[in-house]
Structure 1
């Protein structure tokens, strides 16, 4: 039973919306217009398939994006150059089966070539221990908390991407021409690559 991670397709947006809004209190609900804006503007919007069915998705933005998330703004007020995971959703019947880990491995392999840090948040209402443990096992650490406009409190998490400095110093803005290095979404804005080091 293999997991395939690939770019989302436009005709799948209704299924992605249903998956998001069935995820429970740990994921904020979306409407069709907001999901469409993600499709049009997100630098990274990929789905995971397991046994040929949609099993999860992940949406992410580079730090220069025109993204209106409270938590994205919190990170941008404190950091210049990063990649932000807006949301990851795994179908309830697929949780614990490696789908989340496959999506995180994929987004990290994308981000670490272009950004020095990876950010996300975990909503703290309704039992967040499993989500915090999941992120901690990937090397994320809490760097603060944010109370969002709706009153939700989020743990703000960061992971240093230590491969970034070597890639930047070796290749600068000209990554090799290899298919696996292509940006996941051809219409996504190019990533900006300033100097910086991994702590």
Structure 2
């Protein structure tokens, strides 16, 4: 069956929370209030479905966001404009099946119209070579390391240049075409963050 990536729905937040907190030490735990905050404010919050079941989720935001993560702050202090992947979680039974790549392709198609680069981190505690290799194969490279003050975990700080951004910016400036695959509005039951004018993130 194909993988479907779409905006999260409010009634799925409990399932997303369970996925996050079952992911193991590579992902920081969340509580319901924190997840609700992401739902209300995150620029990008999408889930993947496979065979009709929730297979994972990805949360991301631009460098203009008011986000209290020390990893986000590390990037913000060094780079003026980027799209930050706060977390990506794939259900254990779906790992290695292409869900992660589907998420990154979707997130990049969103980000490259608005930002010159993508940022994320990979925890270096334990054996996380598969995650580092995955990101390296997708074009990310390490730009530093950071010990998270809130968790005491060292992370590799990764960036990926988005080559299409310059052309998009030069061609369209602050006025991206108003077509569904670009604007991707949330449903009426969700927040309006995806309806933010596209020029504000550039």
TM range (shorter): over 0.9
In structure 1, the partner of 2:161 is: 160
In structure 1, the partner of 2:93 is: 93
Q: Deviations over 1:55-101 (max 9, x none)?
A: 00000011011111110000000011110000000000000000000
In structure 2, the partner of 1:52 is: 52
TM-score (norm 2): 0.93
In structure 2, the partner of 1:182 is: 183
In structure 2, the partner of 1:72 is: 72
1:51–1:93 CA distance, 2 compared to 1 (3 A): same
In structure 1, the partner of 2:11 is: 11
In structure 2, the partner of 1:36 is: 36
Distance of 2:184 and 2:36 partners within structure 1: 19
In structure 2, the partner of 1:121 is: 121
Give the 3-state SS of the residue equivalent to 1:30 in structure 2: coil
State yes or no: 1:173 paired with 2:174.
yes
Structure 1 runs (4+) deviating above 6 angstroms are none
Distance of 2:72 and 2:197 partners within structure 1: 18
Kindly indicate whether the alpha-carbon contact (under 8 Å) linking 1:45 and 1:60 is maintained by their aligned counterparts in 2. Answer: yes
Give the 3-state SS of the residue equivalent to 1:167 in structure 2: helix
How do residues 20-35 of structure 1 correspond to structure 2 at under 5 angstroms? 20-35=20-35
Q: Deviations over 1:134-193 (max 9, x none)?
A: 000100000000000121000000000010000000011111122111145461144535
Give the 3-state SS of the residue equivalent to 1:165 in structure 2: helix
Point out where structure 2 has 5 or more consecutive residues left out of the alignment.
none
Higher helix content, 1 or 2: 2
Would you say how many aligned residue pairs link Structure 1 and Structure 2? 194
Distance of 1:153 and 1:94 partners within structure 2: 27
Distance of 1:126 and 1:54 partners within structure 2: 27
TM-score (norm 1): 0.94
Distance of 1:73 and 1:193 partners within structure 2: 17
